[in-house]
Structure 1
Amino acid sequence: MPRPKTMPDEDVLKAAFTIMRAEGPEGLTFAALAAKTGLSGATLVQRFDNKARLIQSALVHAWDGLDHQTTELMASVSRTPEGAIALLVGLSGDYGGIDSYADDLRILREDLRDPLLRARGAKWRDVLSNVLDECLAGLPRAAPGLGLLMASQWQGSLLWWSFDPSVPVTAFVEQSLRRFVDAFAQQPMA
């Protein structure tokens, strides 16, 4: 069967990210991507120049997907504490089991090493924190920055879940976030 002569970048980058999730960033080579896509290694080198640019392009594409998913979820939830919980539980569903979560942590290392990707993470943090602030504004103990605090609680709950993944990640995250919201829903002490 002849090799395909062309493939949209989106499909190539999805394949690259799939390889990274399965094999780690070090497993993403032009040869591995050529085998996965059927494109020639030379074609892939022409598109991406080098491995560093290929990894960056795959991760930028992944950030684009996360931004899109976040935007869709933000549009679907009410601006209430329940909406904040639903948003973060919805974002947790893609982690799957412990193996895929652990594999994603290997990829996060690449995000932290690259200034462009760190900037994407910072931008996403700000968008997420702002909508969480909107959702939590009606709580009796709400204060500026509560959205970032809730996002931090969410990320921490993912990590704590990973040490004992005996329940589905979404159930663990939801329980953790409900306790967080309950702590801020109580009237302040006089």
Structure 2
Amino acid sequence: MPRPRTISDEEILAAVSRVVGRVGPARLTLATVAEEAGIAPATLVQRFGSKRALMLSLHQDDAGLVRERLRETRDEGVSALDSLVTNLVGLSAPVADPVAFSNHLAVLHQDLSDPEFHAQARRHARAMLEEIQALLGRAVDAGELRPVDLTQLARSVQTTYNGALITWAIHREEPLESWLRRELGALLAPWRAGGA
């Protein structure tokens, strides 16, 4: 009979994400992940097989995770626009340090150059876009936003979010949360009901 697992795959993948944030994907090894997770490297090999498989597993459910995070405050009596901004800010929490951001940005290089990682990145981006559009639709229905091309505005929100992460990491003038809130607020302001 196999021995019970002392650590879940989710806990291991959380350790992988922390290691990526500290050292980036190129310097990540099974040994550093094992040390972070408090397990033997052989356990990682047994469960995942290789560093590549481990990294693919890390991003396997990114689309589901982004959906979950963008729905976090949706039903808590918070306005749809406030939910949108708050949830996008929450989504950025793992990269709120410039070093962690640059290390996670290195993962994007891998996402763009490897077909399997790229497929995961596209699913993540599509899920994010759909959830942004859903929240914007709720904002229109609630009278928070003027009627607008929701597809285009959702794309603009996603583009602003991603661009703001990069410009924040370059300028480093204030915390990421306030940087994101300002940039997203400026984008949405002309479309708010009664806005300029």
TM-score tier by shorter-chain length is: 0.7 to 0.9
TM-score w.r.t. the length of structure 2 is 0.77
Once residues 85 and 176 of structure 2 are traced to their aligned partners in structure 1, the CA distance between those partners, rounded to angstroms, is 14
Count of residues in correspondence between the two structures: 186
The C-alpha deviation readout for 1:124-166, integer Å capped at 9, x for no partner, is 3322332233324543352231222222222222222222111
Choose the corresponding residue for 1:143, options 149, 154, 157: 149
The question of whether the paired residues in 2 share the 8 Å contact of 1:77 and 1:87 is answered with no
- What does residue 34 of structure 2 align with? 34
Could you say what secondary structure the match of 1:74 adopts?
Answer: coil
- What does residue 127 of structure 1 align with? 131
Once residues 157 and 43 of structure 2 are traced to their aligned partners in structure 1, the CA distance between those partners, rounded to angstroms, is 45
Once residues 38 and 60 of structure 1 are traced to their aligned partners in structure 2, the CA distance between those partners, rounded to angstroms, is 23
- What does residue 54 of structure 1 align with? 54
Aligned amino acid, residue 159 of structure 1: I
Q: 1:141 to 1:162 in 2, by over 3 A?
A: farther
TM-score w.r.t. the length of structure 1 is 0.79
After the TM superposition, which segments of 4 or more aligned residues of structure 1 sit over 6 Å from their partners? none
Aligned amino acid, residue 159 of structure 2: S
Once residues 6 and 81 of structure 1 are traced to their aligned partners in structure 2, the CA distance between those partners, rounded to angstroms, is 42
Once residues 72 and 140 of structure 2 are traced to their aligned partners in structure 1, the CA distance between those partners, rounded to angstroms, is 19
- What does residue 190 of structure 2 align with? 183
Once residues 116 and 123 of structure 1 are traced to their aligned partners in structure 2, the CA distance between those partners, rounded to angstroms, is 11
Q: 1:116 to 1:151 in 2, by over 3 A?
A: closer
- What does residue 74 of structure 1 align with? 74
Choose the corresponding residue for 1:162, options 143, 153, 169: 169
The question of whether the paired residues in 2 share the 8 Å contact of 1:131 and 1:147 is answered with no
> Could you say what the CA RMSD is over the residues aligned between the two structures, in angstroms?
3.0
- For structure 1, which runs of at least 5 residues remain unmatched after alignment? none
More displaced 10-residue stretch of structure 1: 79-88 or 13-22: 79-88
The question of whether the paired residues in 1 share the 8 Å contact of 2:30 and 2:41 is answered with yes
The question of whether the paired residues in 2 share the 8 Å contact of 1:161 and 1:169 is answered with yes
More displaced 10-residue stretch of structure 1: 85-94 or 153-162: 85-94
Q: How far has the Cα of 1:56 moved from its partner? A: 0.8
The question of whether the paired residues in 1 share the 8 Å contact of 2:168 and 2:179 is answered with yes
Once residues 49 and 22 of structure 1 are traced to their aligned partners in structure 2, the CA distance between those partners, rounded to angstroms, is 23
2:91 corresponds to 1:84 = no
